[in-house]
């Protein structure tokens, strides 16, 4: 018989060994850690096992509950499997089994750099020569369900080096990782990277896209000559002659392999013009591009890609980090798929590879893609692009048993990976390093005072009444209301509850089956301060110099920024806009509503906080002492307090005022505790010094960042300070930090009683705020607290909780409606109201989607769409 308990060890039969480590601090350490010994699974299968009664997400058919038999590393049977003597059994009841993720574009596990950037053509170099089997990124990727990855050369060259495809296994040699029989491929690159647009240094041809095209024509013309020379030599030898062989050239040999079809081309690219260019170059020289990588404008030429036979491997929603990425849309993968392009989603990131199931779910959210097809974006489609789809990428009899066991559906942002098997052997097993499964944070009761309501629902001059009817209301600070009604008038919520009578003439919005929430509050964003990451002319997010307390962001906000509607589209209605760099004293932030034609119309609270990046002190510093920068910071704060006292004396006693100093004038209300200081500190030692600094100077601080708060949680709890934590979607700071440390950080703090809000700290994608909270929820933060961490708690940290952050009569009408759980990536936002006014969900990205979907329909009128498009 099989046993079921709350511990992961009980997923296997009682005969299995106990977990390798217990939860919480080990061996007298002050906080949890993770060594290679703790990464060893508690049991082995020997390549054979039975997973019983599990929900199987095969990637080729809808989910179903069945047994799955693994024998000698392969999937041997799916269905009802009888008793088998000597075979390890795993109880999958209530759990979910998915194919291992296949990451099409990775740079993990590569020693000594990924770019041989000295030349424009380096097809003779090979990533297989520098595989690093000890890279902890392998382990962390396994913890996110990734089982296969293609390791790529960088994109510094028009024609770069050859790749290596690996199976992810921990504690093995480089040779044990190599994927046997995976086709050989060469990395090409187009656009800004090979022409070195954003890199300093000496000039190197090519310097333009024109030059990149010329490189290809020159290279393949010479490669054809080289191949012909060898063909002539072979013919002569076959005829009995003894000719002098041509000089062997490894670089031309690789290019000749492309022409013969023995070596595949996978090309880094972004914009439509260069995608078309490379396809035409390839066709002119008699080969095909296997995949375009990143391919953020693939949706613009999806029909042409389908006709050429090229695949597209893109990002879930990355955009605007450079000019080439400004037209990126999150519907890209779905539109290419609809056109008949073999499409996938990749990571290009040691961090994102840990959550690629969630990246696939974004195609469900933004494009209404069928969930089975969406799962293929990170499994079967990617495997097929690499030429290994007959081995991995789906759960089918005869395929390799690369399997991932989760506690929820793979596309759910609230699911965790419990076990990862590669070739039927356990390569990752989750352990509860922080003890949150058995000792979760409490959910404190919240209450708010009654807010005054002055609206008259029967007075037409008081404004239109909008009634959201039939949905589930989630007030955040009070119990949910099923089948509820929420009334908006005059910019505010005026009534809410079940079975409310509707005023005559009210505009009814039917939200039956949907969910109604307060708009999210995004702390510490760069909205309106930067448009395109690599374009300096659009970047006003940080000022030079370290002593700038008088600068403010407010008048620099571009109300026409495309980032504002993109962020609002996902349910953020209020945001703190703040300096993103510089320091220690970075400047003053403001709070804005995400609507308005000018920054003045957007402005909610000006100069709400002074942002101070506390000077970093390394955790492993030989002497745990602060440096000169911290001492200078103290001196400036004390000088501001003295300046403020002298000004007060002058007003009260008529004494001469101190000389005017704009910096001290601006700093004074923060240095004297009249206004809040946003104190930024991430690593443990810096947090401790920042706490001491705030206490010594009697400031009114809010801590921001706090990425290693879990290491000093007791000190944070004693301080009583509010913490705005983030990003959650990031990597651990150290090789020896538990893999889930950034995910569990908020829960560890909340369990100790630390008030926690969550921020994304993502210049391009503050829209993903809910997804950061979802990951914190998956790893221990109670759902109620995760929702509060992106609504009420950040509003409280910013001092605006009396107006926004929850649903209550009298509060401002910042309201959003979702088709599903706010924390689920796959749940789209259907309505957004700011100050009671319904906002358009149209964005730069939706306009591109609609335009190029219409183009696809014109070019492929007989093609039935693969999925609906939102």
pLDDT (tens digit, 9 = 90+) per residue, 512-567?
Answer: 999 999 999 999 999 999 999 999 999 999 999 889 999 999 999 999 999 999 99
Q: pTM (2 decimals)?
A: 0.95
CA distances from 772 to 141, 144, 520, 786, 823 (A): 18, 15, 12, 9, 9
Q: Which residues pair with 405 in a beta bridge?
A: 97, 419
Residue linked to tokens 């291992």? 100
Phi, psi of 79 (to 5 degrees): 150, -135
Smallest CA-to-CA distance from 197 within 212, 182, 186, 183 is with 212
Over the stretch 671-717, which tens digit does the pLDDT of each residue have? 999 999 999 999 999 999 999 999 999 999 999 999 999 999 999 99
Instruction: In whole angstroms, give the CA distance from residue 190 to residue 454.
Output: 60
DSSP label of 812:
B
DSSP H or E segment with residue 609: strand 609-613
Instruction: In whole angstroms, give the CA distance from residue 546 to residue 286.
Output: 57
Supply 845's token pair.
């990205």
Under 8 Å between Cβ of 371 and 321 = no
Phi, psi of 629 (to 5 degrees): -65, -40
Coil, strand, or helix at residue 515?
strand
Instruction: In whole angstroms, give the CA distance from residue 256 to residue 184.
Output: 13
Supply 304's token pair.
């042409």
Q: Which residue intervals of 451-580 are DSSP H helices?
A: 563-569
CA distances from 676 to 582, 645, 696, 724, 798 (A): 19, 19, 15, 13, 9
Per-residue pLDDT band at 431 (split at 50, 70, 90): very high
Angle between helices 769-778 and 741-751 (to 10 degrees): 70
CA distances from 49 to 31, 200, 528 (A): 35, 54, 54
Over the stretch 797-852, which tens digit does the pLDDT of each residue have? 999 999 999 999 999 999 999 999 999 999 999 999 999 999 999 999 999 999 99
Residue linked to tokens 């997400």? 57
Over the stretch 621-638, which tens digit does the pLDDT of each residue have? 766 778 899 999 999 999
Neighbours of 20 (CB within 10 A): 15
Over the stretch 71-86, which tens digit does the pLDDT of each residue have? 999 999 999 999 999 9
Instruction: In whole angstroms, give the CA distance from residue 677 to residue 550.
Output: 13
In the chain, what percentage of residues exceed pLDDT 90?
Answer: 87
Task: Give the per-residue SS3 of 764-783.
Answer: CCHHHHHHHHHHHHHCCCCH
pLDDT number for residue 32 = 95
Over the stretch 202-220, which tens digit does the pLDDT of each residue have? 578 898 999 999 999 999 9
Under 8 Å between Cβ of 723 and 709 = yes
Supply 608's token pair.
């709400």
CA distances from 572 to 193, 743, 755, 791, 811 (A): 33, 21, 21, 9, 16
Neighbours of 246 (CB within 10 A): 15
Tell whether the model's pLDDT for residue 149 goes beyond 50: yes
Helices then strands, each counted (H, E), the chain: 21, 35
Phi, psi of 834 (to 5 degrees): -120, 125
Phi, psi of 66 (to 5 degrees): -165, 175
Mean pLDDT of 572-577: 98
Residue linked to tokens 């799955």? 68
Coil, strand, or helix at residue 486?
strand
Mean pLDDT of 593-612: 98
């Amino acid at each position: 018989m099989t046993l079921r308990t709350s511990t992961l060890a009980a997923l296997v039969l009682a005969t299995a060994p106990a977990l390798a480590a217990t939860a919480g601090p080990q061996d007298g350490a002050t906080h949890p850690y993770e060594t290679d010994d703790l990464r060893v699974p508690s049991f082995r299968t020997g390549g054979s096992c039975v997973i019983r009664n599990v929900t199987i997400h095969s990637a080729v058919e809808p989910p179903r509950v069945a047994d799955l038999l693994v024998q000698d590393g392969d999937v041997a049977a799916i269905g009802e499997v009888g008793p088998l003597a000597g075979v390890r059994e795993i109880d999958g009841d209530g759990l979910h089994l998915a194919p291992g993720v296949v990451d099409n574009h990775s740079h993990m596990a590569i020693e000594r750099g990924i770019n041989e950037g000295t030349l424009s053509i380096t097809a003779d170099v090979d990533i297989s020569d520098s595989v690093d089997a000890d890279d902890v990124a392998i382990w962390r990727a396994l913890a996110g369900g990734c089982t296969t990855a293609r390791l790529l050369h960088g994109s510094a060259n028009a024609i770069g080096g050859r790749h290596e495809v690996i199976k992810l296994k921990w504690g093995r040699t480089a040779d044990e990782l190599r994927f046997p029989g995976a086709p050989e491929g060469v990395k090409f690159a187009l656009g800004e990277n090979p022409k070195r647009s954003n890199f300093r240094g000496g000039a190197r041809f090519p310097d333009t896209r024109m030059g990149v095209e010329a490189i290809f024509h020159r290279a393949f013309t010479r490669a054809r000559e080289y191949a012909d020379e060898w063909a002539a030599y072979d013919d002569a030898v076959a005829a009995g002659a003894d000719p002098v062989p041509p000089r062997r050239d490894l670089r031309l040999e690789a290019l000749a392999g492309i022409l013969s079809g023995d070596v595949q081309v996978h090309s880094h690219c972004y914009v439509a013009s260069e995608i078309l260019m490379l396809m035409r170059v390839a066709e002119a020289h008699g080969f095909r591009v296997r995949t375009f990588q990143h391919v953020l404008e693939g949706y613009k030429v999806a029909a042409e890609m389908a006709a050429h036979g090229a695949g597209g491997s893109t990002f879930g929603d990355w955009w605007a980090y450079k000019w080439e990425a400004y037209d990126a849309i999150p519907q890209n993968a779905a539109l290419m798929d609809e056109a008949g392009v073999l499409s996938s989603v990749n990571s290009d990131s040691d961090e994102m590879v840990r959550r690629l199931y969630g990246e696939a779910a974004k195609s469900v959210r933004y494009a209404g893609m069928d969930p089975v097809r969406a799962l293929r974006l990170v499994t079967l489609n990617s495997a097929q692009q690499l030429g290994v789809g007959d081995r991995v990428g789906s759960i089918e009899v005869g395929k390799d048993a690369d399997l991932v066991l989760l506690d929820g559906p793979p596309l759910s942002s609230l699911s965790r990976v419990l076990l990862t098997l590669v070739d039927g052997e356990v390569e990752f097993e989750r352990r509860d390093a922080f003890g949150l499964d058995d000792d979760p944070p409490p959910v404190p009761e919240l209450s708010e005072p009654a807010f005054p309501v002055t609206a008259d629902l029967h007075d037409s001059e008081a404004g239109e009444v909008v009634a959201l009817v039939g949905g589930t209301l989630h007030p955040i600070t009070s119990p949910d209301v099923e089948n509820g009604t929420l009334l908006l008038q005059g910019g505010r919520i005026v009534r809410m509850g079940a079975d409310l009578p509707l005023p005559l003439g009210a505009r009814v919005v039917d939200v039956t089956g949907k969910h109604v929430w307060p708009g999210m509050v995004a702390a510490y964003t760069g909205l309106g301060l930067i448009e395109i990451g690599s374009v300096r002319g659009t970047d006003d997010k940080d000022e030079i110099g370290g002593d700038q307390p008088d600068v403010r962001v407010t008048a620099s906000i571009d109300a026409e920024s495309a980032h504002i509607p993109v962020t609002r589209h996902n349910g953020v209605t209020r945001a703190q806009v703040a300096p993103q760099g510089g320091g220690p004293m970075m400047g003053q932030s403001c709070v804005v509503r995400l609507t308005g034609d000018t920054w003045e119309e957007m402005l909610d609270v000006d100069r709400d906080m002074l942002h101070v990046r506390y000077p970093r002190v390394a955790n492993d510093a030989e002497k745990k002492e602060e440096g000169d920068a911290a001492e200078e910071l103290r001196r400036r704060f004390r000088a501001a307090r003295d300046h403020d006292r002298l000004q007060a004396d002058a007003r009260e006693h008529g004494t001469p005022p101190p000389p005017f100093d704009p910096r001290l004038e601006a700093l004074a209300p923060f240095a004297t505790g009249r206004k809040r200081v946003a104190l930024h500190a991430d690593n443990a030692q810096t947090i401790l010094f920042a706490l001491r600094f705030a206490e010594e100077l009697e400031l009114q601080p809010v801590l921001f960042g706090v990425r290693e708060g879990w290491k000093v949680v007791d000190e944070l709890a004693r301080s009583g300070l509010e913490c705005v934590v983030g990003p959650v979607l990031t990597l651990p700071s150290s090789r020896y930090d538990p893999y889930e440390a950034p995910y569990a950080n908020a829960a560890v703090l909340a369990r100790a009683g630390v008030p926690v809000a969550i921020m994304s700290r993502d210049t391009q994608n503050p829209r993903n705020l809910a997804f950061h909270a979802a990951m914190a929820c998956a790893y221990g933060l109670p759902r109620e607290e995760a929702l509060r961490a992106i609504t009420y708690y950040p509003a409280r940290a910013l001092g605006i909780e009396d107006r926004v952050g929850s649903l209550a009569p009298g509060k401002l009408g910042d309201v959003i409606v979702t088709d599903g759980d706010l924390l689920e990536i796959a749940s789209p936002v259907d309505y957004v109201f700011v100050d009671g006014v319904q906002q358009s969900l149209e964005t730069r990205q939706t306009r591109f989607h609609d335009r190029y979907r219409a183009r696809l329909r014109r070019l492929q009128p007989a093609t039935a769409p693969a999925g609906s498009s939102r």
